[in-house]
């Protein structure tokens, strides 16, 4: 088969959206099957605001002797206390960065947390 013809066919194919192509002439055959175009992946947006651990340490929902009941669905205001992270040298407050509804609680009482780990998600 003539390489000029193959070049012309491949150049023409670049201008089409064909998924399959078959060319036959004089006992010569070119058959091309392209992968079908994949659909664009869905784009998701999240309106939740993450509340992350301010330090490496142990999470407590409240200081000793105090009770701070946190439940999913609870309304919180900006700067409300959501607990503390106790490190070796200091206690770090966990504060709500926005007002809204507490949607997801990831933190567990008395469990270790890492700096930047999501503890809560608030829906503004």
Report pLDDT digits (tens) over 36-55: 655 677 888 889 999 999 99
pTM for this predicted structure: 0.62
Which regions in the chain score pLDDT beneath 70?
1, 34-39, 65
Residues near 12 by beta carbon (within 8 Å), at least 6 away in sequence: none
Fold of 49-123: OB fold (Dihydrolipoamide Acetyltransferase, E2P) (2.40.50)
pLDDT of residue 109: 92
pLDDT of residue 4: 84
Q: Please report, for the chain, the start and end positions of each structural domain, with discontinuous segments joined by +.
A: 3-33, 49-123
pLDDT of residue 9: 77
Q: Where are the beta strands (DSSP E) in the chain?
A: 20-25, 28-33, 49-52, 57-60, 75-76, 81-86, 91-95, 100-105, 112-113, 118-123
Helix (H, G, I), strand (E, B) or coil at 3: helix
């Amino acid at each position: 088969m003539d390489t000029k013809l193959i070049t012309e066919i491949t150049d023409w194919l670049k201008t089409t959206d064909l998924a399959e192509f078959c060319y036959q002439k004089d006992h010569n055959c070119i058959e091309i099957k392209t992968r079908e175009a994949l659909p664009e992946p869905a784009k998701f947006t999240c309106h939740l605001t993450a509340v992350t651990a301010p330090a490496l340490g142990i999470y407590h929902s409240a200081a000793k002797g105090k009770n701070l009941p946190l439940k999913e669905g609870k309304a919180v205001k900006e700067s409300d206390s959501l607990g503390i992270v106790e490190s070796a040298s200091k206690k770090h407050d966990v504060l709500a960065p926005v007002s809204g509804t507490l949607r997801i609680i990831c933190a567990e009482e008395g469990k270790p947390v890492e700096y930047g780990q999501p503890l809560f998600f608030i829906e503004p």
